[in-house]
Each structure stands twice: as C-alpha cells, then as structure tokens.
Amino acid sequence: MVVFKKFNLDKQSIEVPGTRVQGATGHYRHASYVNGLVEHIAEAPHIKTLYDLFQNSVTKYGDREFLGHRPYNTVAQTYSGYTWQTYAQINQRVNAFGSGLMHLNEVILQNPQLNRWSLGIWALGRPEWYISEMSCNFFNLVSVALYDTLGPDAVEYIVGHAEIPVIVCSGNHVSTLLQNASQMPGLRAIISMDSLQDTVPVPGATSPAKILRAWGEEKGIKVFDFDEIENFGAEFPRKHLPPLEDEVASLCYTSGTTGQPKGAMLTHKNFVATVATNREGLSIYLPLAHIYGRVVDTNATFSGCKIGYFRGDVALLMEDIQELRPTFFPTVPRLLNRIYAKIVASTIEAPGLVGALSRHAVATKLANLEAGKGVHHPLWDRLLFNKIKMALGGRVEVLLTGSAPIAKEVLNFMRIAFCCVVTEGYGATEGMATATVTLSDEYIPGHVGCPRAGCEIKLVDVPEMNYLVTDKPYPRGEIHIRGATVFKGYFKDEKNTRDTVDSEGWLASGDIGFVDNRGCFTIIDRKKNIFKLAQGEYIAPEKIENILMARCNLIQQIYVDGNSLESTLVTVVVPEPETFLPFANAITGSQVGLGDNVGLAKLCRNPQVNAAFLKELDKAGQAGGLRGFEFVKRMHLTTDAFTVENGMMTPTFKVRRPQVSAHFREQVQAMYADIHASTPAAKL
C-alpha cells in the first residue's frame, strides 16, 4: 500500500522572501518546507550512512522477502517463477562476500592499498549487483558502476581513472575484460557473477572455466566466481569497517559525450539525504516489486520492500512484469511509449464497436481527470480498464517515470488507463537524481513538479540563449539545485567541479526551465548542444556530425536532430554536388551535371537515392565508432544550404542549431512521422 500526503496543487513551491539577486530568481522550496530543507530521515535520525540504513532494515525486516530473481533451469532450458531471499539471508551473503573481497585484496593479491579502494561492478541489475555494492558499504570501499552504454573505450578509461583493482561482472563480460586487459594495467582480479564451475561437456576437453582462468594467468589477472569469494569470506570472516557520512560511497561516471566520462563522487550523506527527501510526502507500506535504479533500491531497502530483478532481456521484460505483479513501478518514457502504442492500437484505434466504446471511455476519463475528479470510473474501469491494468500485473498503485521527458498525452493516458498515480521526476546524477517531482494527485501534465523536501531551486539568466528571469509570463533560466543531495565533486577533476558547483553549493544543471505561478518547473532546453533521447541516452549531435562529415565524402553540410520524446535521430543533409551527382546518377541512370540545380533537387527527392545515401551514412558511422543510438534513422536531402545570409550559419561558419531546426521543422516532423508509421507496435 502506498500512502501520499496531500498538498495544495495551486501553490506547490514558494520563492523564499529576500533571496533574489540580480540575474537570478529567489530560492524556490516545496511549500511545506519553506523554513528548512530535509537532510535526515525523520523516523530514523540515527541513520547516517548506507551501512546504518541496511543494518536498520535487517533488524526491522530480517525475515521479510527482499531480493528476487527468476532462476534458469539449464536442463529444461526454462526460467522458473521468482525466488526470494530475505533481508537476513542477504545480510549473511554481504558479510561473506565483503569478507571475501578483503581477503582477496590483502592476502591473494597482496595489495598494499588495504582500504578505500574501488570495486568495479559491470552487469545488469541482479541480486549479486546489490550484494557487491552493499559489501562496499560494510568495508568502506568505493563502488563504481560500469554501464554497457559507455562503450569499451570508456570502460577502459574508468577502470584506470578510478584505479579499480577488482571488477565483479556478469559472465558475458569476463572475456571482454581479459581481451582488453593490456589497456587496464591496474586490474588484478575479475569475479564472475555467473558460475565458473569446471563442467566439461565432452570427455577429455578443457572446460571454458579453465580456459578463462588460464587466459587470466597469462594477463596477470586472477579469475574467480561469486561463490568462491563468498567461500573465502565464510572461511576468513572480517570485522566490519563502517564508513563516515561524508566519505564517498560510489563513483558514478557520466556518459562522456563531450569528452572523457566524469566520475561524480556520491557520499553516504548524499544517499541518506535522498531517502530522507523521498520519505517526505510518500509513505510506502508492504513490499514493492521490480524496483530498479540505485536511488529506488536504497529507498526500497529502507522501507522493507521487495526488489525483483528482470532476466536481462528487454524483449522479455513485460513477461517478467506480469510474473512479478509490482505495486510500485519506476520506469522510463521509452517503455511507456511502447505500452501506450500497443494499448492505443487495441483500443481507441480498433475498428468497429470496440474502437467506438474505447474512444468514449477514454474521453470520459480524460475529461474527469482534467476536471480534478481522479483516475477512476465505476463503469469504464469494470468494462475496459481493469483488463488493461493486467499488462503490468494488475496491482500497480504508483508509476514513476524519469530520466527523460514524456509526452503530455502519454502521461495522462497512463493515469486513466492504469487507474493509478503517475508521477514524473527530474534530477541530475550530480544531485542523486533528486530535484523535483509531480505531486500524487496532479492532473495537469507537461511539467516536472515542484522541488523535493530536501532541495531548493533557483533559475539563473542565460543571456546568450535569451533566457532571462525577467521574462514574461514566467521567469526562465538555467536550473540550479542545492541541498544535501548535491554531490561532493568530480573525482580527480577540480576544474569541472568548480564549473558545476559554486562556492555556495549550487549545482548548475545545464537544463533550461521556467517556473509557473503554481510553483511548478518545466524543462524547455539545454544550455549546451546536448540532449537526451527518450531512453535516456545523451546525444552530442556535433560529435556525430563531425564523424559523418569526416567519413562520407557525399556530405557538404549536415545537421543531426533529435529530442527527448523520440528514441532515434534524424538528419538534414546538403549533398556535395561533385561527389553526390556521380553517386546518384549511377543509381537512377540519369545524367545530371554540375550546375543543373533543378536536376540536383530532383535527385535529392528520389527515394532510391535517399536509401542508398542513408546506407553510406551507416557505413561512416560504423567506421567512426558510433554507438547504436547515435545512428540516424531517416534523412532529408536538400539543396537549401546553411548560409550566413539565411541566418543558419554564424560569421565564423558554425551552424546555428536553433535556426536550422526551425527552418527544417516540417521536414523533421515528417521524418519522425514516417518512423512511427513504419514501426510496429511493441508486443506486451
């Protein structure tokens, strides 16, 4: 059961009197916390660190189910239902694994660095991930998450930058690490979360485990599996080394789209303050399921919840959700968009009577929502929406979306379709992903809510982008965040730390927003030419443009477009006539020559030419090492060049991105419409 406090929707945050200065708004705080920000957990003020938090939960909820996963039967080659381990059982495993890590480092590796070293963790969410991280908290180590989307170069950089001697990873990453070991000279040991038992499929053959271990020996790297480390710990138990609240708990690296990744130093105080601010306004009782994300996991742990992990295959995610039947479901817009498309196709876009009834039902419930009458309807829920709710297991009470914006129509449709609270959060890695959230009974979409109980926000002028706090009807500017959730700084990077957090503790988010007369914030732009796709991936369009320009001689000018409501990129290209014309003529059999602008424009509109050109861009992207989400999916060829005269280039011949975007808005919208029309609705 989830219980929300009720707040005044008409005045959600208040500008603290006397805090305005030239070029900035005053400090906005949640209307109920104007007199002070939340830093400590009200009902458990003794909790200062993640170690304290977990010990508190083990004491209170020891026999309660905690971490769950779906085991794979290698004989039947099928997954079973969820199996669970209790808080007490996980505590025993953390004790054992953490002790085993200390034994490995000090005795087997003989590492002189006896404490405060960094442990890399490279895997999708699973019980072993949580155990690995919590082991760091037991023995005052620093956890470092290695994300798949960073790419191999970034992983190698982080391992060296964070001075990681030991990495715990899923089995599929062991060979990758060994293959690239020469680029990570400080790496001393790899621990596989998956078993490396010496099973030999063919008599006389060498097992894969022995091959991996032998390969590791050649590289000077010890290879173990998770069970072996736990066994070390059981045999050689260690006394805990509890951390202090201001010590770094984790290094969380950015995606590095404008250079090398930066390691945000997140302290134990940051984590505890995040739990404290999330507790205010939301009380969670009874277990929750399928909760992912480290902030969500930490809040769930404190509340005595159940955390269920999916199998790791996104294509099977909906099956796992229906098996798990969550009550609280944190997710991202990309998945909600898939669910929305499928439900819309089977209801309001369905033919005949089903479509007619669905359209009436949806219209009725949306009208009620917009009138502030809630998300339930006695007739239409029974006839239609109770069936729709089963797509998420039928028990969801709260659906939380974050990491990227979500379309207004999708947000409100989810509210009335699943008959539950749908909230949208906003934050930055450097601020523990905690800044604002929409209130539980909010019915107006299109904003990210008001400041959390532990945060205050101000807007600061960005004159070079014409965003000013004196703008009408609402002040606009860069969002700055302050509170106990703001990070300590970037690891080994004082310059970027100074550029990001000022002397008064204000974190510059890089996001442009405005605050309305209800005290709600809306994100409208980025201070730099970086944006997120719907799935949360950061995009640096200029980097992509430079790679494509350098590797495809058909391009004269190029502009890559995308936004946080789409999961793919599109591009506008002005072709280089000297190379493009022979290329296009060969495809079409035409004989257009240089200077024939009419013929050139006709070739730009030819579908076969477009398809072939797009393949050339794919080749250039592959050669340039672009990641999957950085490839463009549609292209508009044009002879309408970017010039200083038409305002699409600066006098120094740099592309004016807002002007190009505005000029080609119709074509960009048409490309996305074509993508949507040709993409089948995802299966639930």
The SS3 call for residue 450 is strand
Let me know whether 400 and 331 are in one domain: yes
- Which residue matches tokens 């479901």? 329
Query: Residues 519, 565: one domain?
Result: no
Same domain, 55 and 12: no
Q: Is residue 252 part of a domain?
A: no
Please calculate the CA angle 85-90-91 and round it to the nearest 5 degrees: 145
Choose among 550, 553, 549, 639: nearest CA to 594. Answer: 639
Q: Smallest Cα–Cα separation from 626: which of 544, 541, 571?
A: 544
Residue 389 maps to which CATH number? 2.30.38.10
- Phi then psi dihedrals of residue 506, to 5 deg: -85, 125
Question: Tokens 């490309």 belong to which residue?
Answer: 671
Contact 398, 417 (CB under 8 A): no
Tell whether 481 and 560 lie within a shared domain: no
- Domain CATH code at residue 594: 3.30.300.30
Is 219 contained in some domain? Answer: yes
User: Do 116 and 173 share a domain, yes or no?
Assistant: yes
Q: What is the pLDDT of residue 210?
A: 86
**Same domain assignment for residues 491 and 418:** yes
3-state helix, strand, coil in the chain (%, to 5): 40, 20, 40
- Give the integer Cα–Cα distance in Å for 34 and 13: 8
List the CATH number of the domain containing 99. 3.40.50.12780
Domain boundary among 526, 548, 571: 526
Q: Please state, as a whole number, how many other Cβ atoms lie within 10 Å of the Cβ of residue 316.
A: 14
Check residue 315 and give its pLDDT.
76
Q: What is the Cα Rg of the chain in Å?
A: 27
Based on the domain organization, do 283 and 210 belong to the same domain? no
What's the domain range around 98? Answer: 50-59+87-197+205-243
Quickly list DSSP for 264-312.
EEEEHHHHHHHHHHHHTTEEE-S---S--SHHHHHHHHHHT--EE---S
What residues contact 546, with CB distance under 8 A and at least 6 apart? none
Closest CA relative to residue 333, chosen from 630, 536, 524: 536
- My answer on whether 567 and 667 are in the same domain is yes
Amino acid (1-letter code) at residue 256: G
CA angle 267, 268, 270 (to 5 degrees): 65
| 69 in any annotated domain | no
Helices (H), ranges, 563-680: 577-588, 597-604, 607-623, 657-663, 665-678
Answer whether 235's CB lies under 8 Å from 229's CB. no
User: What stretches in the chain show pLDDT beneath 70?
Assistant: 1-4, 112-115, 148-151, 198-206, 255-259, 281-292, 650-654, 680-684
Cα(290)–Cα(305) distance, integer angstroms: 10
Half-sphere exposure (Cβ direction) of 575: Cα atoms closer than 13 Å: 29
Whether 409 is covered by a domain: the verdict is yes
Contacts of 196 (CB under 8 A, 6+ apart): 171, 209, 212, 213, 223, 224, 225, 228
Helix (H, G, I), strand (E, B) or coil at 535: coil
Residue 67 belongs to a domain: no
DSSP string, 462-524: BGGGTB-TT-SSS-EEEEEEEETTS--EETT-HHHHHHHB-TT--EEEEEEEEE-TTS-EEEE
Is residue 458 within 8 A of residue 506, CB to CB? The reply is: yes
Asked whether residue 221 falls in the same domain as residue 369, the answer is no
Q: Give me the pLDDT at residue 530, please.
A: 74
CA distance 376 to 58: 38
Under 8 Å between Cβ of 592 and 585? yes
* pLDDT for the residue 682: 40
3-class SS string, 81-149: CCEEEEHHHHHHHHHHHHHHHHHHHHHHCCCCCCCCCEEEEECCCCHHHHHHHHHHHHCCCEEEECCHH
On whether both 162 and 229 belong to a single domain, the answer is yes
Flag whether 138 is in a domain.
Answer: yes
The DSSP code sequence of 336-402 is HHHHHHHHHHHTTTSSHHHHHHHHHHHHHHHHHHHTT--S--TTHIIIIIHHHGGGGTS---EEEE-
| 352 & 492 share domain | yes
Report how far residue 650's alpha carbon sits from residue 642's, in angstroms, rounded to the nearest whole number. Answer: 10
Q: What is the pLDDT of residue 261?
A: 79
Q: Is residue 70 part of a domain?
A: no
Check whether residue 211 and residue 92 sit in a common domain: yes
Report pLDDT digits (tens) over 81-117: 999 999 999 999 999 999 999 999 999 999 866 668 9
Domain annotation covers residue 178: yes
What's at 135, amino acid-wise? S
Per-residue pLDDT tens over the stretch 374-385: 999 999 999 999
What's the pLDDT at 683?
Answer: 41
Decide: 293 and 133 in contact? Cβ < 8 Å. no
Domains contained in the chain, number: 3
Of 312, 325, 339, nearest to 414 by C-alpha is 339
* Of 496, 526, 556, the domain-final residue: 526
